[in-house]
Amino acid sequence: MLNQLLFPVAKRFVSGQTIQDAVTAVRRLNASGIRTTLDVLGENVSDRRAADAAVATYLETLDWIQREGLSSNVSLKLTQMGLDIDRDYCLENVARICERAAGNNFVRIDMEGSAYTERTLNFFYELFQKHQNVGVVIQAYLHRSEQDVRRLIELRARVRLCKGAYKEPPSLAVQTMAAVRQNFMSLASLLLSKGNHPAMATHDDVLISWTKNYIAQHQLPKDGFEFQMLYGVRSETQRQLAAHGYSMRVYVPFGTHWLPYFYRRMRERKENVAFVLKNLFRK
Ligand SMILES: Cc1cc2nc3c(=O)[nH]c(=O)nc-3n(C[C@H](O)[C@H](O)[C@H](O)COP(=O)(O)OP(=O)(O)OC[C@H]3O[C@@H](n4cnc5c(N)ncnc54)[C@H](O)[C@@H]3O)c2cc1C
């Protein structure tokens, strides 16, 4: 009931419940010179049926991308692929998706809360030995991230850098916006100068300007990295960056399990809560 009430509002951040909805959103973005990464919403599955269904949807999504000639890759969460059920089973699932993407596509493993950081990275290192078309995410708020970034750079692995979306304790993560930004910039400078096509996933004007200045000062090519943003967030900025020759990729989630994703977007911005309330009670 609450889900039905909230979905029209969640549609600001979620492209729709079906793959066809997502394809429509991707086509629209591609037409503005924006690439996408498709995310089949879902996380923390506890039975194999749910994980199998998610795998099947990812395989179908890759087929759609191929068939329709879309400029898109995919992003997934390990807990949706069965990490909490059985690691080997999860590995087989993600390997199948990487195999389907092999040739000309790419699979990004999203980073979840800190209970999964170590497991996600170890999983990634193992998968990456066989599948080079897979990348991972580093969260700038975690104290451990510099060490992880250095190792990923050595491996020539592709990294998406973001601030981090989960609530983490001071023992694991810096807590102020100034400190998160500072960490982001120091990790970004490593990735931009030595990394393999890194992604700067942020909507933060301070970090976007910093990134543009960094590559200009160091005479790095505009297409050696990409900016990434979320569907429905700062769409005008997305279009402007693409129009100014930057590689721009938008994370396009779709599916029926949208509530936890929507909740994280609410937590990031108190204005979003006002937006939800206003829209819920609008006649
Ligand atoms: C492509 C992509 C992939 C991501 N993948 C992961 C991941 O795998 N793991 C993870 O932990 N986190 C992930 N994140 C989320 C990220 O960690 C941050 O929580 C999120 O991007 C907000 O941080 P920000 O840098 O945009 O800065 P903020 O300071 O939060 O935002 C800067 C400005 O952007 C706009 N903005 C930001 N968020 C919103 C919002 N929700 N609604 C409306 N406006 C907003 C506002 O104008 C705000 O002032 C991802 C983010 C992106 C863009």
pLDDT tens digits for range 105-151:
999 999 999 999 999 999 999 999 999 999 999 999 999 999 999 99
Mutate to test the pocket of ligand 1, among 80, 247, 269 (most ligand atoms within 8 A of CB): 269
169, pLDDT greater than 80: yes
Q: What is the pLDDT of residues 92-117, one digit of tens each?
A: 999 999 999 999 999 999 999 999 99
Q: What is the pLDDT of residues 250-262, one digit of tens each?
A: 999 999 888 889 8
- Predicted confidence at residue 1, as pLDDT, reads 61
List the residue whose alpha carbon is closest to atom 31 of ligand 1. 204
The pLDDT of residue 2 is: 66
What distances in angstroms separate CA 69 from CA 2, 19, 158, 206, 222, one per listed residue?
Answer: 37, 15, 23, 34, 24
pLDDT band (50, 70, 90) for residue 211: very high
Q: Is 272 in the pocket of ligand 1 (CB under 6 A)?
A: yes
Is the per-residue pLDDT at 276 higher than 90? Answer: no
Residue 20 CA, ligand 1 centroid: distance in Å: 25
Alpha helix stretches (DSSP H) within 32-116: 48-68, 87-101
Nearest to 101 by CA among 53, 139, 133: 133
CA-closest candidate to residue 55, choices 69, 37, 76: 76
Measured between alpha carbons, how far is 188 from 43 in angstroms, rounded to an integer? 28
Residue 280 pLDDT: 62
What pLDDT is attached to residue 274? 73
Tell whether ligand 1 has an atom less than 6 A from the beta carbon of residue 117.
Answer: no
- The whole-angstrom separation of Cα 102 and Cα 131 is 8
Instruction: Indicate if 160 belongs to the active site.
Output: yes
Is 21 annotated in the active site?
A: no
Residue nearest to ligand 1 atom 27, measured at CA: 204
Closest atom of ligand 1 to CA, residue 166? 11
Q: Which of 107, 103, 81 is nearest to 92 (CA)?
A: 81
Distance CA 193, CA 253 (A): 30
Which residue, among 56, 51, 120, 57, has the nearest Cα to 82 in the 3D structure? 51
Nearest to 83 by CA among 118, 132, 129, 58: 118
Q: Which residue's CA is minimally distant from atom 46 of ligand 1?
A: 203
Q: Which atom of ligand 1 is nearest to the CA of 140?
A: 17
- What is the C-alpha to C-alpha distance for residues 132 and 101, in angstroms, rounded to an integer? 11
Which atom of ligand 1 is least distant from the CA of 266? Answer: 41
- 160 has which bridge partners? 137, 199
Q: Residue 43 pLDDT > 90, yes or no?
A: no
Q: What are phi and psi of 227, to 5 degrees?
A: -85, 145
Which residue lies with its CA nearest to atom 5 of ligand 1?
A: 110
Is the per-residue pLDDT at 225 higher than 70? yes
Q: Which residue has the tokens 């050696």?
A: 224
Query: What per-residue confidence (pLDDT) applies to 283?
Result: 44
Q: What is the pLDDT at residue 96?
A: 98
Q: Which two tokens stand for residue 207?
A: 């970090």
Across the range 34-61, mean pLDDT stands at: 95
Q: Is 87 in the pocket of ligand 1 (CB under 6 A)?
A: no
Quote the pTM value: 0.95
* Mean pLDDT of the residues in the chain: 94
